[in-house]
Amino acid sequence: MDLYGALRPLIFRLDPETAHNLTFWMGARACAWPWLPKPALPASLRCQALGLSFPTPLGLAAGLDKGATLLPLWKSLGFGHVEVGTVTPRPQPGNPKPRIFRFPEAGLILNRMGFNSEGAEVVAARLRRRPAGLVVGGNLGKNKETPEADALNDYRAAYRLIAPQVDYIALNVSSPNTPGLRNLQAPEALKPLLAGMLDLRKEMGLERQPLLLKLAPDLAPEDLDAIVEVAVAAGISGLIATNTTLDRGVVQEPLRAFVESKGAGGLSGVPLKDKARQVRQRILAALAGRLPLVACGGLGSAADVQGALDDGAALAQVYSALIFEGPSLVGRIHQGLAEHPRSH
């Protein structure tokens, strides 16, 4: 059994945020070790996407390392990329606690963190010391108190600080925990947002840096089609699908009532899997190869990741499965992918 497996019963007895802080404290100690192991990744996992070279298509989704504090550890575990954030331009505390709930028997997480962020300046300073050999993305959001009408200013402020330090940027317009944020996915709101961000990218001489958009799984199929057309017409670099879902219908009874009793927030993990895959398949059909897609949502095994790649995704990201299964998940997924007869 690995260390996480041994500690798991203890970790899962703690309240989730205490467990998170404890594992991050241990992770930070591990990052300081000079003998942090180098990942041994099969060469067959190497892939190109978004104009970048990845040691593996598997990455860590946004929200776990919001402040870029454990990058050497993620690299050592074998992730090919890490999406840091969501980072807001100014620091903010996020929602009151408790704001994260685990349901291990269902592989489900409910969270309403609400973008707790140290702010773009602090995270950018940390990113300046990022390790080589790991693709790092910066996932950006707006501050809670910023009116929707001024959202572009917030994304631009965070971009100015974070973009020069990372390999790609993801615009998060899909968190359910910042009031009004998801309205930015509407085509009339999305067009000026993307145009404004692409203008800034050009102004900063970062035209070659990929700019992606992260979408929610709760959009109607026709809305997805419309968003795809806006994204392609604007000239952004790719899409990430999906973020967490507000749909309690993905959880079976009797657990659903228990989940509902915990209040607001987005659901992730196993119960999101089918819904996220349907959304991705719709997006991939609408894209027809015009832009790359990063798969996220309910992925927890080599078969899940391979399924997403076979559907046409360029890369895949995990979050919830890592919480439930621990770091050994990464090696298991890689082993399964390497055994798969097709190239990635």
Ligand X SMILES: Cc1cc2nc3c(=O)[nH]c(=O)nc-3n(C[C@H](O)[C@H](O)[C@H](O)COP(=O)(O)O)c2cc1C
Backbone angles phi and psi of 319, in degrees to 5 = -140, -70
Indicate whether 244 belongs to the interface with ligand X (CB under 6 A): yes
Which of residues 130, 144, 214, 344 is near ligand X by CB under 6 A? 214
228, with CB counted inside 10 A (0-12, 13-18, 19+), is buried
Supply the minimum distance, in Å, between the C-beta of residue 327 and ligand X. 15
Indicate whether 326 belongs to the interface with ligand X (CB under 6 A): no
Of the pair 72, 85, the CB lying nearest ligand X is at: 85
Indicate whether 146 belongs to the interface with ligand X (CB under 6 A): no
Closest-by-Cβ residue to ligand X is: 63
Tokens at residue 206, please? 């970062």
x/- contact string, 105-134, with ligand X (CB under 6 A)? ----x-x-x---------------------
Residue 117: active-site member: no
Indicate whether 175 belongs to the interface with ligand X (CB under 6 A): yes
Q: Is 235 helix (H, G, I), strand (E, B) or coil?
A: coil
Of the pair 200, 240, the CB lying nearest ligand X is at: 240
Of the pair 14, 288, the CB lying nearest ligand X is at: 14
Contacts of 54 (CB under 8 A, 6+ apart): 46, 47, 48, 80, 81, 135, 315
Indicate whether 298 belongs to the interface with ligand X (CB under 6 A): yes
Indicate whether 138 belongs to the interface with ligand X (CB under 6 A): no
Q: Are 67 and 122 within 8 A, CB to CB?
A: yes
Please state, in angstroms and as integers, the Cα–Cα distance from residue 206 to each residue in 128, 159, 230, following that order: 17, 11, 21
CB-based contacts of 96-101 (< 8 A; 24+ apart in sequence):
97/17, 98/15, 98/16, 98/17, 99/17, 99/265, 100/16, 100/17, 100/20, 101/16, 101/259, 101/262, 101/265
Alpha helices (H) along 37-79:
71-77
Indicate whether 243 belongs to the interface with ligand X (CB under 6 A): yes
Q: Name the active-site residue from 175, 237, 268, 320.
A: 175
Residues of this chain that interact with ligand X (CB under 6 A) are 61-63, 66, 85-86, 100, 109, 111, 113, 139, 172, 175, 214, 243-244, 268-269, 272, 296-299, 318-321
Point out the residues that are catalytic. 175
